[in-house]
Amino acid sequence: KNQVEQSPQSLIILEGKNCTLQCNYTVSPFSNLRWYKQDTGRGPVSLTIMTFSENTKSNGRYTATLDADTKQSSLHITASQLSDSASYICVVTAAGGSYIPTFGRGTSLIVHP
Amino acid sequence: KAGVTQTPRYLIKTRGQQVTLSCSPISGHRSVSWYQQTPGQGLQFLFEYFSETQRNKGNFPGRFSGRQFSNSRSEMNVSTLELGDSALYLCASSWTGGRAPDTQYFGPGTRLTVL
């Protein structure tokens, strides 16, 4: 069964600090991996998309890495801001006929001043 | 350019009723996907439509159905509502859909409450 596990479940950091969120998956065959940011009461917003051949993708202060061999991804946030407080969701899409996305439960990040 | 719009934003129904939700994608986008988000299960994929055809379907009962019109607007229907259908229903549009590394743009969602 395809699964996506995210850790930690929640994280509290001080403004200006860096943090790293983890995503492990068992989805196979692999098509692509996406990281989304979801503010409370809003729809998710795409941060990065990576395919099998990509191991790093950046979007401003957000940098995602992918290790397709170990089936692990991380999202690194640099110099956090109060507006980074949100849920971060990892999504892995399977290939091979039906491109069904499997979602992680998300990491809830709170940035304190 | 206008984003993805969903109507209505909030809806209250009673068990046994049916409901239709609407999604207007970003202009030019041909793929529309629907998702259910609940505190217990998180985000789950319902189905994807591309050029009026259902291309992928998640693991949901047949009470959940959808369609896409020639202008790419999509509707989702849930029949015989159950309490467990209470959720935030999100739609997302993109040029090609999830099979390509193509950015999906989500709408604000429709909050459905079943009493």
Taking only the tens place, the pLDDT of each residue in A57-113 is 999 999 999 999 999 999 999 999 999 999 999 999 988 777 789 999 999 999 999
Q: pLDDT (tens digit, 9 = 90+) per residue, B30-58? A: 999 999 999 989 999 999 999 999 998 99
**Chain B residues within 8 A (CB-CB) of chain A?**
4, 42-45, 48, 55-58, 90, 92, 97-99, 101-109
Nearest to B43 among A45, A46, A103 (CB): A103
Q: Has residue B101 got a pLDDT over 90?
A: no
Assigned token pair, B87: 């959720």
DSSP alpha helices (H): ranges in chain B? none
Contact list in B for residue A44 (CB cut-off 8 A) is 43, 90, 92, 106
What is the percent of chain B where pLDDT is above 70?
97
Look at B56 and A51 and tell me if their CB atoms are within 8 Å: no
Q: pLDDT (tens digit, 9 = 90+) per residue, A24-64? A: 999 888 889 999 999 998 999 999 999 988 999 999 999 99
Q: Are B76 and B24 within 8 A, CB to CB?
A: no
Work out how many CB contacts closer than 8 A connect A with B.
54
Query: What is the pLDDT averaged over residues B54-79?
Result: 96
State the Cα–Cα distance between residues B28 and B69, nearest whole angstrom.
Answer: 13
With bands split at pLDDT 50, 70 and 90, how would you rate the model's confidence at B99?
A: low
pLDDT at position B1 is 67
pLDDT at position B44 is 96
pLDDT at position B98 is 62
Contact list in B for residue A95 (CB cut-off 8 A) is 99
φ and ψ of A72, to 5 deg: -135, 145
Cβ partners under 8 Å of residue A46, min gap 6: A34, A35, A36, B103, B104, B105
Bridge partners of residue B75, in order along the sequence: B22, B67
Q: Are A41 and A103 within 8 A, CB to CB?
A: no
φ and ψ of B90, to 5 deg: -115, 140
pLDDT at position B100 is 72
Q: Has residue A14 got a pLDDT over 80?
A: yes
State the Cα–Cα distance between residues B95 and A36, nearest whole angstrom.
Answer: 18
- Smallest CA-to-CA distance from B101 within A77, A2, A61, A35 is with A35
